[in-house]
């Protein structure tokens, strides 16, 4: 099938757009900013980009709930730990607190029509357009597909041989995206699309250089980044064209078919699909790996989950999901770029500054979670009045992750199907540390496991 793309933005055009958007202009004095470290911009940037899970809590311990970091690109950043301050940001006027600008580095992948990169007034109608695939009854229909895909995935796991569960989780969630979200049923097309989308989403630190300096796109290795983006575009536009011509489209339940109601432009659909890829593939895969990393090191928790696998809904299973995301946050912070000066936490912040709610720091703060704040204890979610205001894995306000419910259903379905199918154990007895990968915080060893035996066979 030939795809005409003359009216679609190319990868190079998106790179140029990203580079221009990500240039920060501070409109106002910085002398009233909150305190922060005296290290060089380079030192702060390296520590923030490569180890913020350790760096940000350390900065809060030194300077308090509000800290200024001088980080490039995009800084200075004002890091927030107090839920009251974070609530002000999440509930603030969307015209002032721009999350799209905070995500501007994602433009080369998700484009300018994505809910991740749009700001007021364009964000609200785009988000409304994205809501139908995530209605409760449609999520319930997708959950059966998730279980089927998980069963097939687990059959490929070797018995007795260690492997990185994170890698298999990436493959699993990408398969779910391609089949349940994009609705691609042809195995050959699904395989090629999966391979290309994985290359696009597998962002290395060096890849980001071409987003900041688009002229690098003509030379190796950044030339491959641009080629992968262009190939992904070609395949996605082809799927959009096929679905438009599908006479049975109105009866399909995949997100792509639902998105085409109202006949939006191809480029808008493309950007929305790529946003779902970025928001629903890597982050969910990392969440799955952390759930099992925690479960397999807490045998009493694992045994309790196993006892209720026959239940379609188990509050304790949900508690495990919430607690794993609390103690091992997939995303350590979100960002809002100020379009106007504001007063926050007693400081005058000028326009252009980015404020970053520190999810990881809030979710491990003993003021809200008690003396055992760093312990993995799912039972806390079954106790009266858990501090929901200090649990922020999906962000908050009008920018809260649109797929939060689907992510929870997906992770719990995967947890259930894996534990029904195999008996697995952690390869390493010690807790796995975490490290930054792209925008996510992953298990340092990839959540290494082995299958001890298959069940029910």
Cα–Cα dist 199/281, whole Å = 12
Q: Look at the chain and report how many structural domains it folds into.
A: 1
For residue 247, is it within any domain?
Answer: yes
For residue 258, is it within any domain?
Answer: yes
For residue 104, is it within any domain?
Answer: yes
Q: What is the pTM of this model?
A: 0.90
From first CA to last CA, the distance across the chain in angstroms is 44
For residue 1, is it within any domain?
Answer: no
SS3 category, 336 = strand
Contacts of 136-143 with C-beta under 8 Å, sequence gap 24+, read 136/405, 138/253, 138/258, 139/405, 139/406, 139/409, 140/409, 141/253, 142/180, 142/253, 142/406, 142/409, 143/409, 143/410, 143/413
What pLDDT tens digit does each residue of the chain (457 aa) get? 434 344 576 766 666 665 555 556 676 667 789 999 999 999 999 999 888 889 999 999 999 999 999 998 788 999 999 999 999 999 999 999 998 887 777 787 888 888 888 888 888 888 888 888 777 777 877 788 888 999 999 999 999 999 999 999 999 999 988 887 888 988 899 889 888 888 887 766 666 666 666 666 676 767 778 888 889 899 999 999 999 999 999 888 888 998 898 888 999 999 888 888 877 788 999 999 999 999 999 999 999 999 999 998 999 999 999 999 999 999 999 999 999 999 999 999 999 999 999 999 999 999 999 999 999 999 999 999 999 999 999 999 888 888 889 899 999 999 999 999 999 999 998 999 999 887 789 999 999 999 999 987 5
> Domain containing 228 — which CATH number?
1.10.630.10
For residue 331, is it within any domain?
Answer: yes
For residue 384, is it within any domain?
Answer: yes
Residue located via tokens 């199918």: 421
Expressed as residue numbers, the domain containing 368 is 11-454
Cα–Cα dist 61/244, whole Å = 55
For residue 216, is it within any domain?
Answer: yes
Give the residue among 332, 336, 271 at the shortest CA–CA distance from 106. Answer: 271
For residue 176, is it within any domain?
Answer: yes
| C-beta separation of 97 from 334 below 8 A | no
Cα–Cα dist 67/406, whole Å = 34
**Beta-bridge mates of residue 104:** none
């Amino acid at each position: 099938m030939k795809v005409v793309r003359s009216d679609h933005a190319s990868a190079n055009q998106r790179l140029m757009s990203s580079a221009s958007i990500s240039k920060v202009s501070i409109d106002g004095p910085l002398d009233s900013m909150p305190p922060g470290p005296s290290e060089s911009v380079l030192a702060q940037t390296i520590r923030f980009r490569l180890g913020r899970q350790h760096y940000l809590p350390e900065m809060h311990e030194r300077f308090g709930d509000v800290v200024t970091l001088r980080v490039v690109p995009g800084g200075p950043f004002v890091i927030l730990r107090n839920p009251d301050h974070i609530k002000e940001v999440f509930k603030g006027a969307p015209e002032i607190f721009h999350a799209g600008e905070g995500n501007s580095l994602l433009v080369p992948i998700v484009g300018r029509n994505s809910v991740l990169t749009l700001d007021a007034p364009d964000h609200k109608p785009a988000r409304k357009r994205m809501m139908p695939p995530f209605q409760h009854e449609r999520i319930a229909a997708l959950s059966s597909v998730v279980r089927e895909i998980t069963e097939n995935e687990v059959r490929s796991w070797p018995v007795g041989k260690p492997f990185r569960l994170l890698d298999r989780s990436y493959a699993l969630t990408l398969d779910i995206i391609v089949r349940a979200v994009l609705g691609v049923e042809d195995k050959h097309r699904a395989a090629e699309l999966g391979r290309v989308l994985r290359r696009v989403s597998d962002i290395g630190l060096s890849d980001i250089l071409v987003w900041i300096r688009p002229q690098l796109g003509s030379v190796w290795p950044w030339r491959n980044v641009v080629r992968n983006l262009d190939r992904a575009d070609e395949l996605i536009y082809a799927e959009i064209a096929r679905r438009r011509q599908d006479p049975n489209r109105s009866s399909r339940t995949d997100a792509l078919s639902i998105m085409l109601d109202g006949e939006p432009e191809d480029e808008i659909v493309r950007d929305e699909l790529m946003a779902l890829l970025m928001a629903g593939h890597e982050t969910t895969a990392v969440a799955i790996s952390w759930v099992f990393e925690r479960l397999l090191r807490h045998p009493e928790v694992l045994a309790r989950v196993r006892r209720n696998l026959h239940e379609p809904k188990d509050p304790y299973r949900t508690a495990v999901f919430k607690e794993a995301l609390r103690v091992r946050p997939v995303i350590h912070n979100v960002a809002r770029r100020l379009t106007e000066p504001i007063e926050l936490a007693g400081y005058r912040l000028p326009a252009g500054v980015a404020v970053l709610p520190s999810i990881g720091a809030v979710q491990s703060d003993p003021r809200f979670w008690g003396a055992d704040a760093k312990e993995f204890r799912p039972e806390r979610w079954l106790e009266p009045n858990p501090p929901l205001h200090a649990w922020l894995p999906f962000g908050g306000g009008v920018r809260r992750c649109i797929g939060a419910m689907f992510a929870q259903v997906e992770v719990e379905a995967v947890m259930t199907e894996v534990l029904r199918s195999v008996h697995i154990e952690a390869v390493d007895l010690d807790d796995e540390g975490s490290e930054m990968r792209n925008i996510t915080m992953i298990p340092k060893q990839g959540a290494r496991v082995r299958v001890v035996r298959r069940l029910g066979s």
